[in-house]
Structure 1
Amino acid sequence: MASAVETPDHPRPWLSHYPEGISWELDADFQPVHEQVLAACAREPLATALDFLGGTMSFGELARSIISLAGALQKQFGVRKGVRVALMLPNTPFYVISYYAVLRAGGTVVNCNPLYTVHELAHIASNAKADLMITLDLKQIFEKAEALVEAGHVKSLVVCHFPEALPLVKRALFSIAKRRDLANVGKSRVAAQITRFAEMLARRETPEPVIIDKTKDIAVQQYTGGTTGLPKGAMLTHANIAANMAQIDAWGCGLFYPPSKVIAVLPFFHIFAMTVCMNVPLCNGIQVVMLPRFELKSLLDIFMRTKANILPAVPTLLQALAKADIKAEQIASLEIAISGGAALPNEVRSKFARISPARLAEGYGLTEASPVVCCAALKVASKPMSIGLPLPGTDLRFVDVDTGKAVGIGEPGELQVRGPQVMAGYFDDEQSTRDAFMDGWLRTGDVGYVDEDGYVFLVDRIKDLIISSGFNVYPRNIEEALMEHELVDEANVIGVPDDYRGEAPVAFVKLVSGASIGEAELKTFISAKLNKMEMPREIIFKDALPKTLIGKLSKKELREEYSQRKGQRREPART
């Protein structure tokens, strides 16, 4: 780890402006996350670890489930070092058990977003070589997993029975009112390749010991991407994951310890939630209160029922809270809201302050950094509109986009990161790995500056990636879907500010000569090819699309045109 010493060539102004009680120096002895959570379970086995819609699981029960599943994964499926297991699960106890069990067995977790299309999931499963997937028997999720098996992208499924996650009364009601939402797994076309999650736990297998090389063995292979739209598997070692947990823990100054409670409405398959909503709190022995998806009433009920005080969120969630007609007492327990996943508009900050006295702290990160790089202070005020200071052990520099030379304090440049949380590289992609680094520094693609006190501000970004509700949306995916229509000649997609999602895609389309088609009809055509986050907010038809001198479609002019058209300024987004 680098020493906390400034040099003329590399100033670190944040060193002298850290909140009281926080040191930039960080202990480099990082224990793997599954060992940490099992240790927490052993310390307080009777304490509540998980709350799911009112049903609870103690730390002792969590440990027994993790151990049983890990043993079954080893014995039935041969999970060991180098074996990648895909998890396609919403926030439920099943996800938590599966995540730590895969790691305890020695395997690597490959997170899959259940909202993705089968085409997107096929790329991830195939690229990762994840022969085994753990999923749920809710129809809308199971049918995608079933299709992946039929296509040969996944060989075996472990299927969790959703009602088993519910408390007894809700389980009975679900079986009566919602049973049509469940797939008939026993009659599935791939039934021979399915194992029931509950049956694996019931065997109470004991896993073999696994010796982890913290700096080399991969804990999580998290898929991300750039402007190409082809997701890449960021390889996060056990040390990467544990380092970022230690950094967040130190930054919290005791916040992430009992009696705190964390609300996990953000999905665990997203790197921000995986770390801040699950790993950090559970390893410190505090309760995680889960929601499978965001619903305002359910979230408010959780506050009233559990008195939770920590809410990691994305700006769209905070916007929904700020705009809702809620009473102060409904969220009176909230002490800190941590915003990440996308840029936090100043308007949302102001509106949120009117409904809650809780501190609203913005953080910044990216998948390749496990993910958190900077964060506003969680106990004291930070500079408005900044993304805070670098976390302990995290080094930053800003580099001139054109020359590649480091710039001074206050000068804009590309943000580059170095620290123990930075990934090992991209899976099976040496060229992308080389492109992601410059002289050992991780390139973020975001442009900003650091001020004289070490506070970081972002002003723009290099990549064309769109961040919508905290998720990556790739323009090329949308462009290719549009181009499949026989009447579309050219298509170009940009991201524009969106009050609810942070950013939303807008498509510019040139039709073939003499053709005519309406926006609604074209949206219907592409709806089967794109997920909801990828659907363009608007399709604008033009006689010609701007191009560069070499004939490449240009987004720059379209952004300027749209800004003038809507009277808006495009704000930067963050991964």
Structure 2
Amino acid sequence: MTVSNFSPARSAAYHHPTPLGTIFTPASLPALFERTLHRNPDAPFLHFLGRTYSYKQIYAQAQAFALGLSRAGIVKGDRVGLFLPNVPIYAAAYYGSMMAGAVVVNFSPLYSVEELSWQVGDSGTKVLVTVDVPELYKTAKKVLDASTLETLVVGSLADQLPRLKGVAMKLLKRSQIADVAYGAKVKSWAGMTPAGTPPKVAVGPEDLALLQYTGGTTGRPKGAMLGHDQLSVNAQQVAGINPFGNPAGEVFVGALPFFHVFANTALLNHAMVTGGSIAMVPRFDAGQVLAIIQKYRCTGFPGVPTMFQALLDHPDLAKTDLSSLKVCISGGAPMPAPVHERFEAVTGVRIAEGYGLTESSGVVSANPYQGTRKRGTIGQLVPGTEVILLDKENPENLAPEGEPGELAVCGPQIMRGYWQRPESDADTFVRRDGKCYLRTGDVARIDEDGFLEIVDRIKDMIAVNGFKVFPSVVEDVILEHAAIKEALVIGVPDDARGEVPRAYVTLNEGATETGAELASWLNARIGKHERVDQVVVRDSLPKTMIGKLDRKTLRAEVL
């Protein structure tokens, strides 16, 4: 059964431990950090390659950076960019910027000079923080020299490591350390974190906290404006679905990149609000992740589907002690059923699929961590959230009962709009019954218990002779074949039918099936209008910066 809306009034079958209708109190992120600090200042916050940082240590660094920003002329509302992998100074720079009243702008370390330069200009970023990794520093320096950026702050990676590791890196691995040209516009992290107390800046829940750029499907990325209220509430919403008791005892695997909204909320802010800790890695490496799970007795692992596949493929999985893990959370992309089933069978650890967007501060829904769940769905809404399904052809109307529709979300975690893009808001939001809903662009079903299932993206639907084909439906079928490891389906032009589906796949090790054999097997199992013109076997499929399969890039490559 599909229903057109699900609100706090329909909560009889709600399975998260915090009631769906709960109203959370918004606060500034620095205020929440201070509250957690006072509870237990010496509690571990970040574990990084053998070194542990307490809440007190990161808070002190954040305060020092806030003072450095103030002395550099940064005032409330100015933008400070973070061009960082997962390193401890990310947290200090993130919260320190907010203590100074600045707005953080997240940038992926994978950005090219052109991408970074454009987003620096669009956001009006004045200060950019990076580390002395040669590739990052070279990119950031070129942007500094050719943009409106005023100051580049460079942290030392070696100084963030345990002492002996840091000394060894400086002595033996000089090629891995950039030759930084410090000067009037290039400052060291140490130089930007002076001793002293920063001036008190009034930062409230109503203030803008973060510009998080979306990948988008066409054109330039847009900066989602997320306030302290949205981010603080979403962190509390995520904490509210944890049924395991004392949240301060949780140790999360920090493999997702902090610059991405999923990790920003589900890892960094979630841990900060609850007093939990994060065992972080600079970038995802399956062997390193398995090692830190065992070493730090990690209890939770948020990741994307390709990460779980990589763990399954790693030879150390069978000999790694995973008994501390209570749950794994998968988001960012649909979890293929074979990967889901195999991971749980091999590890004995439950995967709870969830869903969110940049524009929703990170998290909208998740399957319960314990008890009732529905595999293949994105679970139930986090507390305080409502959704409706809009008609796919006319978003001013609700979808007909029993039919999927465009998912639209209303809740305290929804963004304020796009940075300097007021014209985009008209297509992004819809008002019904006095409430404002975010149009997600995802086609979904909602069952009578409030479990949501994403059918596909509206823009990804393939029009075959007037019929709508959902690529994910075809992908789900082909992934049932034992030879298939990954799959993406896109529409390609066809003179007779307008478009026709085509599948691109990678194979499991040892598989020898041809594209023709796979196409024949697939087409015998799907509807006539869903049949692919061919299956293309590739060595790899494109992935986004956080490791999920990237249909947009594949389409650009092919078309």
Query: Shorter-chain TM-score: which interval?
Result: 0.7 to 0.9
Instruction: Report if the CA contact (8 A) 2:7-2:386 is conserved.
Output: no
Q: 1:548 to 1:433 in 2, by over 3 A?
A: farther
Q: 1:358 to 1:339 in 2, by over 3 A?
A: same
Partner in structure 1 of residue 150 of structure 2:
155
Q: Is residue 2:34 matched to residue 1:38?
A: yes
Q: 1:572 to 1:163 in 2, by over 3 A?
A: closer
Residue 252 of structure 1 and its aligned partner are, at CA, apart by 1.2
Partner in structure 1 of residue 14 of structure 2:
18
Alignment of 1:225-240 (within 5 A): 225-240=215-230
Amino acid of the structure 2 residue aligned with 1:333: S
Alignment of 1:314-333 (within 5 A): 314-325=304-315, 326-327=317-318, 329-333=320-324
Amino acid of the structure 2 residue aligned with 1:70: A
Residue 22 of structure 1 and its aligned partner are, at CA, apart by 2.1
Q: 1:376 to 1:328 in 2, by over 3 A?
A: farther
Partner in structure 2 of residue 470 of structure 1:
none
Q: Is residue 2:398 matched to residue 1:406?
A: yes
Amino acid of the structure 2 residue aligned with 1:446: D
Instruction: Report if the CA contact (8 A) 1:256-1:286 is conserved.
Output: no
Which one of 558, 561, 564 corresponds to residue 533 of structure 2? 564
Deviation string 1:39-76 (CA, Å, 9 cap, x unpaired) is 21222112211110011111111111111111111122
Alignment of 1:446-465 (within 5 A): 446-464=442-460
Instruction: Report if the CA contact (8 A) 2:225-2:418 is conserved.
Output: yes
Instruction: Report if the CA contact (8 A) 1:448-1:459 is conserved.
Output: yes
Residue 462 of structure 1 and its aligned partner are, at CA, apart by 1.1
Q: Percent identity?
A: 33
Which one of 113, 116, 125 corresponds to residue 111 of structure 2? 116
Measure the CA separation in 2 of the matches of 1:155 and 1:240: 29
Partner in structure 1 of residue 437 of structure 2:
441
Partner in structure 2 of residue 209 of structure 1:
200
User: Normalising by the residue count of structure 2, what TM-score does the alignment of the two structures yield?
Assistant: 0.82
Deviation string 1:426-463 (CA, Å, 9 cap, x unpaired) is 00001112211112210000001101111101111113
Which one of 414, 427, 445 corresponds to residue 422 of structure 1? 414
CA RMSD of aligned residues (A): 3.1
Amino acid of the structure 1 residue aligned with 2:54: S
Deviation string 1:156-198 (CA, Å, 9 cap, x unpaired) is 1011011011001211221233210211113x7xx43111111
Instruction: Report if the CA contact (8 A) 1:410-1:451 is conserved.
Output: no
Which one of 287, 293, 296 corresponds to residue 286 of structure 2? 296
Instruction: Report if the CA contact (8 A) 1:99-1:109 is conserved.
Output: yes
Partner in structure 1 of residue 509 of structure 2:
none
Secondary structure of 2:364 counterpart: strand
Q: 1:410 to 1:204 in 2, by over 3 A?
A: farther
Q: 1:427 to 1:501 in 2, by over 3 A?
A: farther
Which one of 56, 59, 75 corresponds to residue 60 of structure 1? 56
Amino acid of the structure 2 residue aligned with 1:305: K
Measure the CA separation in 1 of the matches of 2:391 and 2:12: 25
Deviation string 1:300-322 (CA, Å, 9 cap, x unpaired) is 21122111111011100011112
Residue 114 of structure 1 and its aligned partner are, at CA, apart by 0.6
Residue 503 of structure 1 and its aligned partner are, at CA, apart by 6.6
Q: Which runs of 5+ in 2 are unaligned?
A: 462-470, 504-528, 542-547, 553-559
Alignment of 1:210-359 (within 5 A): 210-215=201-206, 217-254=207-244, 257-325=247-315, 326-327=317-318, 329-359=320-350
Q: 1:504 to 1:135 in 2, by over 3 A?
A: farther
Measure the CA separation in 2 of the matches of 1:163 and 1:362: 36
Q: 1:561 to 1:380 in 2, by over 3 A?
A: closer
User: Normalising by the residue count of structure 1, what TM-score does the alignment of the two structures yield?
Assistant: 0.80
Which one of 120, 124, 130 corresponds to residue 125 of structure 2? 130
Measure the CA separation in 1 of the matches of 2:358 and 2:551: 11
Deviation string 1:350-402 (CA, Å, 9 cap, x unpaired) is 11012211111000000000011110001223012110011111000101111
Partner in structure 1 of residue 161 of structure 2:
166
Alignment of 1:520-559 (within 5 A): 546=494
Instruction: Report if the CA contact (8 A) 2:235-2:273 is conserved.
Output: no
Measure the CA separation in 1 of the matches of 2:375 and 2:302: 19
Q: Is residue 2:223 matched to residue 1:192?
A: no
Q: 1:174 to 1:457 in 2, by over 3 A?
A: same
Amino acid of the structure 2 residue aligned with 1:118: V
Residue 557 of structure 1 and its aligned partner are, at CA, apart by 5.7
Instruction: Report if the CA contact (8 A) 2:17-2:241 is conserved.
Output: no
Greater Cα shift, 378-387 or 7-16 = 7-16
Q: 1:464 to 1:140 in 2, by over 3 A?
A: farther
Measure the CA separation in 1 of the matches of 2:311 and 2:48: 21
Moved over 4 A (4+): 7-14, 494-508, 545-549, 554-562, 570-575
Amino acid of the structure 2 residue aligned with 1:460: D
Q: 1:147 to 1:567 in 2, by over 3 A?
A: closer
Secondary structure of 1:219 counterpart: strand
Q: 1:555 to 1:154 in 2, by over 3 A?
A: farther
Measure the CA separation in 1 of the matches of 2:430 and 2:441: 12
Measure the CA separation in 2 of the matches of 1:459 and 1:400: 14
Which one of 353, 371, 376 corresponds to residue 380 of structure 1? 371
Q: 1:457 to 1:197 in 2, by over 3 A?
A: same
Instruction: Report if the CA contact (8 A) 2:4-2:390 is conserved.
Output: no
Q: 1:329 to 1:462 in 2, by over 3 A?
A: same
Residue 323 of structure 1 and its aligned partner are, at CA, apart by 2.5
Measure the CA separation in 2 of the matches of 1:406 and 1:10: 12
Measure the CA separation in 2 of the matches of 1:9 and 1:91: 38
Q: 1:330 to 1:412 in 2, by over 3 A?
A: same
Greater Cα shift, 104-113 or 332-341 = 332-341
Q: 1:427 to 1:502 in 2, by over 3 A?
A: farther
Q: 1:302 to 1:122 in 2, by over 3 A?
A: same
Residue 13 of structure 1 and its aligned partner are, at CA, apart by 7.5
Greater Cα shift, 428-437 or 320-329 = 320-329
Q: Which runs of 5+ in 1 are unaligned?
A: 1-6, 466-493, 509-544
